[in-house]
Structure 1
Amino acid sequence: MIVEIGLNGDEAAYELRQLEKWLRDDDELRGATISGRNAPTESGDMGPVLEALQVLMEPQGVLTALAASIGTWAGVRRRSVRIRVRSGEKEVEIDASRLRDPDDIASRILRELEGKPEA
């Protein structure tokens, strides 16, 4: 399963690098391959800008650990950040400033990506 994570907001590229480090440090995601995807460079750019993270997970059950880790990371952010998580055709965008509870963020990611009804 491939999951793509993007951020919108002030200093999104910086925050995405922080999220990448957070995910790499999570023991439950050891089996996942995490890589950055840069935005296309344009004339005058000083260098590549990180646009999204791609997480390749085997087995599929790691999605729960990924959602929990993203939720916890978002819950401790001081900046307002919007998180976009996509897997295949399914996508969820979350305004983390409105959902501060890490469990709410994780539940919403799982619900939307797995197509489960709200409990």
Structure 2
Amino acid sequence: MIVRVGLIGDEAGDEVRRLEQWLRQDQDLGQVTITALAAPAGEGDMGPVTEALQLLLEPRGVLTAVAASLGTWAGVRRRQVHIRVRSGEKEVEIDASRLQDPDEVAVRILRELDGR
């Protein structure tokens, strides 16, 4: 299963890099291949900006661990975070600043992407 995770907002590029570091440090995600995807360079850009992360989830059951890790990460952010997670034609967008419980992120991702 391939999942693409992006963030929406003014500081999305910086936050995506922080999210990448977070996911790489999560021991439960050792089997997940994480690739940073760069946005096309714009005029005046000094270098590539990370636009999203592509996650290769093998075995498929690892989506639960990814969803939990994203929820925990969103819960510790001080800034408003809008997360967009996509797999194939399925997509979920979450405004993490309105969450009462970080577990809501995991629940929504699993429900929308995996039908649980």
Deviations 1:18-49 (A, max 9, x none): 10000000011001100100001122211111
- The aligned residue for residue 111 of structure 1 is 111
TM-fit CA distance, 1:60: 0.3
Equivalent position amino acid for 1:16 in 2: V
Q: Which structure 2 segments of 5+ residues have no match?
A: none
Q: CA–CA distance in 2 between the matches of 1:57 and 1:100?
A: 28
What is the TM-score normalised by the length of structure 1? Answer: 0.94
TM-fit CA distance, 1:102: 1.6
Q: CA–CA distance in 2 between the matches of 1:111 and 1:10?
A: 28
Asked if 1:49 is matched to 2:27, the reply is no
What is the TM-score normalised by the length of structure 2? Answer: 0.96
Equivalent position amino acid for 2:33 in 1: T
Give the root-mean-square deviation of aligned CA atoms: 0.9
Greater share of helix residues, 1 or 2?
Answer: 2
How many pairs does the alignment contain? 116
Query: What is the identity percentage for the equivalent residue pairs of Structure 1 and Structure 2?
Result: 70
Alpha-carbon contact 1:8-1:81 (below 8 Å) kept: yes
Q: Post-superposition, which runs of at least 4 consecutive aligned residues in structure 1 deviate over 4 A? A: none
- The aligned residue for residue 20 of structure 1 is 20
Alpha-carbon contact 1:10-1:81 (below 8 Å) kept: no
Match of 1:36, SS state, is strand
- The aligned residue for residue 92 of structure 1 is 92
- The aligned residue for residue 68 of structure 1 is 68
Q: CA–CA distance in 2 between the matches of 1:23 and 1:100?
A: 22
